[in-house]
Amino acid sequence: MEQGLLVVISGPSGVGKTTIVHRVRDAFDAVFSVSATTRPQSKSETDGKDYYFISPEQFSEKIENNEFLEHAEVFGCHCYGTLREPVDETLASGKIMLLDIDVQGGIQVRDNMPQSVRIFILPPSEQELLRRLEARGREDDESIQRRFKDATQEIKLAQSSGAYAYFIVNDDLDLAIAEATAIIRESHNNAVTPS
């Protein structure tokens, strides 16, 4: 049975990460990781498909039992995390599993599963990142500036943390997707080839 591969793709808002993640998923028929969360389930969400909805008490218990590959408290109110068991099951089946998480999560995954492949998506420049955030037209200027500041800090942390082996500059979306796909294909082949 061939071994699966855990792939982490991170990057700040406005860098095109979500599009890259979805195209990579389609290219490999990869499994997209479902996060566990303590936030309430909305009417349109399905437990186990959109998220695993669990209580804060259950979440704390799982942290104590080391059941998460990575976890974080977001905006000081709700917790999110990647459970180990579904990841292990997916990898045992030989499939590629994709995690779309922030740098803090990427650092935790490096520590908990060093054999994972961790890719960070970069903007061509800070100016271009700011332009993309503004072009989305979703937020007021203050929110855009806050997002931009967060993004530049996230990039610095990704570059200094040693958590990411690969950095892809998304200057051309198709090229960035091709680069991510090539990295994953090569890593998967190396994972299944006996040395």
Domains of the chain, by residue range, sit at 5-192
What is the number of alpha carbons within 13 Å of residue 36 lying toward its C-beta?
23
DSSP-derived 3-state class of residue 40: coil
List pLDDT tens digits, range 120-170: 999 999 999 999 989 988 889 999 999 999 999 999 999 999 999 999 999
The low-confidence residues of the chain, meaning pLDDT below 50, are 194-195
Cα→Cα distances 195→4, 39, 72, 192, Å: 16, 44, 36, 9
Phi, psi of 53 (to 5 degrees): -90, 115
CB-based contact 14:151 (threshold 8 Å): yes
DSSP-derived 3-state class of residue 194: coil
pTM, to two decimals: 0.90
Q: Architecture of 5-192 per CATH? A: 3-Layer(aba) Sandwich (3.40)
Position 195 scores a pLDDT of: 41
